[in-house]
Amino acid sequence: MRKRMTVIPIPDGNAIKYFSDREAWGRIRRAQAHGFYLEAVTLEESIIADSLISFLVCVGAVQPDARLARQSFGQLVQQWMAVVPEPIPTKHFPDLRTAVDAWRKRRNKVVHGMVKSVPGTAHDDVLNFLEEAKVVALEGDALAQALSDWGKKMKQRLNTSKVKAVSA
């Protein structure tokens, strides 16, 4: 029996970036399906941070250099909020900015909290921890999607504005 091959067309633009994003989303889906929520959360953070970097570079708020990739997730969120000080309402979030920042804090607790504790203090039950990790992973998925969609819209608006300014 002959196996069918799936042909994936190479997209215009940055094909390497496209395939890396595609792999990340595939891993998020598989991780969530198998209960590996920490992997999903980690990849979601990477996607969100990448979207923030892309937006900040696109609007000229930061320079695309090696230091940018070393900035913490919190620093990127703060820079984004400084550039976009008004709320960003979306279908699922009253303000995308505050939702991402709140998720960032929950993400920190999940990524670092399974075992880490102060000696002599009560430690949360691992089943409660895993349930919280699941919730954070699902919310991170929705935030990554919403931020990606918002970033694409903002880039299109910015590019449209540049074209209108050049042709005027």
Could you state, in order of their start, the residue ranges of all structural domains in the chain?
Answer: 15-157
User: What integer is the mean pLDDT of 75-98?
Assistant: 96
**Which residue is it, tokens 């960032």?**
104
Q: How confident is the model at residue 163 (pLDDT cuts 50, 70, 90)?
A: low
Q: What sign does the CA torsion over 41, 42, 43, 47 have?
A: positive
Q: If you average pLDDT over every residue of the chain, what do you get?
A: 89
What is the DSSP annotation of 25-72?
HHHHHHHHHTT-HHHHHHHHHHHHHHHHHHHHHHTTSS--SHHHHTS-
Round to the nearest angstrom and report the end-to-end CA distance of the chain: 62
